[in-house]
């Protein structure tokens, strides 16, 4: 665990700046690269918070696996006909709606901070050792929330089986879409 | 300029900003893949909140870490399914503009 404010501020700066770049860059490849930086910076935040296991999972899945899937999708789907026509009126309406949403959210946060009881002012990060965290993970996955873990495993199995079935159908040509 | 002690509100603010970037990006993005990346940003912001509350507000209770782990799995599955549906529809529509996908 690193309890250093400089690391936190650097990671936060990377998250905010590259998150905005990822959303507002025109090139989808650059957008994906910025998203990778955001996901790695988030894993640094998880490491600072004392959850090394979540940091590794975040870096491996969101930093490597998800960008590979998205990159393959970009390779398969771009280059033919990108008719990205801009509707300026709709663009400005959505920006205005987003700004109103942000203001409403800030108002809700301010109201909830005003209504927060005094006993909720928590400012100290709890100190855990790695063995304690890993044993808690094992207890949570295999004892406390084993039904959720099995449900997630079933979901992953269904997704893999569905992909295989759709691929076989699309090869034989009797897929309807 | 900067505070020397990092509190729970700093992490919650970063989670909020990440969630807002994802929300606004999913609203204004024209590319389907960019919308999916924005949804992943929203999931990551929620994960930041879960792990922050687990680290600050619980003494020896790590349920937030476990739920964040499940959330990563669900997010990966959701992204894979959404990208496959997009790929199948792209073969028919020949466009990655989200306005072309108004009907299934």
Q: What is the CATH number of the domain that holds B31?
A: 1.10.287.3510
Interchain CB distance below 8 Å, B40 and A62: yes
Residue B3 domain-assigned? Answer: no
Number of structural domains chain B divides into: 1
Q: What is the pLDDT of residues A29-42, one digit of tens each?
A: 999 999 999 999 99
Residue B2 domain-assigned? Answer: no
Q: What percent of chain B shows pLDDT beyond 70?
A: 91
Confidence bin at A109 (pLDDT 50/70/90): low
Residue B92 domain-assigned? Answer: yes
Contacts 24+ apart (CB under 8 A), B7-11: B7/A122, B7/A123, B8/A122, B8/A123, B8/B52, B8/B53, B8/B56, B8/B57, B10/A8, B10/A12, B11/A45, B11/A49, B11/B48, B11/B49, B11/B52, B11/B56
Q: Which of A140 and A17 is assigned the larger pLDDT? A: A17
Q: In the predicted model, is pLDDT for residue B75 greater than 70? A: yes
Residue B58 domain-assigned? Answer: yes
The nearest CA of chain B is from the CA of A66 a distance in Å of 7
Q: What residues 55-74 of chain B have any CB closer than 8 A to a CB of chain A?
A: 55-63, 65-70, 72-74
Tokens 């959720």 found at: A148
**Phi, psi at A78, each rounded to 5°:** -105, 160
Q: In the predicted model, is pLDDT for residue A119 greater than 70? A: no
pLDDT number for residue A72:
85
Number of residues written out for chain A = 177
CATH of A1-81, one of 1.10.760.10, 1.10.10.60, 1.20.120.1200, 3.10.20.30: 1.20.120.1200
**What DSSP string runs through B75-92?**
HHHHHHHHHHHHHHHHHH
Q: In the predicted model, is pLDDT for residue A154 greater than 70? A: yes
Q: What is the pLDDT of residues B18-56, one digit of tens each?
A: 999 999 899 888 888 999 999 999 999 999 999 998 888
Residues of the domain holding B44: 8-100
Q: What is the DSSP letter of B14?
A: H
């Amino acid at each position: 665990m690193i309890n250093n404010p400089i690391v936190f501020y650097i990671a936060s700066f990377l998250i905010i700046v590259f998150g905005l770049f990822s959303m507002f860059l025109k090139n989808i490849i650059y957008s994906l690269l910025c998203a990778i930086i955001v996901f790695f910076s988030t894993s640094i935040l998880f490491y600072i918070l004392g959850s090394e296991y979540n940091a590794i999972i975040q870096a491996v899945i969101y930093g490597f696996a998800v960008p590979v899937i998205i990159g393959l999708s970009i390779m398969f789907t771009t280059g033919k006909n990108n008719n990205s026509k801009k509707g300026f009126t709709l663009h400005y309406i959505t920006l205005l709606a987003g700004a109103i949403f942000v203001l409403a959210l800030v108002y809700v946060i301010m109201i909830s901070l005003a209504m927060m009881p005094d006993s909720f002012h928590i400012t100290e990060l709890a100190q855990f050792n790695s063995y304690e965290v890993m044993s808690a993970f094992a207890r949570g996955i295999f004892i406390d929330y084993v039904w959720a873990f099995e449900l997630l495993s079933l979901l992953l199995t269904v997704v893999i089986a569905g992909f295989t079935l759709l691929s076989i159908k699309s090869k034989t040509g009797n897929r309807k879409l | 300029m900067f505070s020397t002690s990092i509190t729970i509100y700093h992490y919650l603010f970063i989670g909020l900003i990440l969630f807002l970037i994802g929300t606004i990006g999913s609203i204004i993005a024209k590319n389907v893949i960019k919308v999916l990346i924005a949804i992943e940003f929203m999931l990551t912001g929620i994960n930041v909140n879960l792990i922050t509350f687990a680290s600050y507000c619980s003494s020896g209770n790590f349920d937030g870490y476990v739920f964040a782990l499940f959330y990563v799995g669900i997010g990966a599955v959701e992204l894979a399914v959404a990208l496959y549906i997009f790929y199948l529809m792209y073969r028919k529509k020949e466009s990655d503009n989200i306005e072309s996908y108004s009907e299934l």
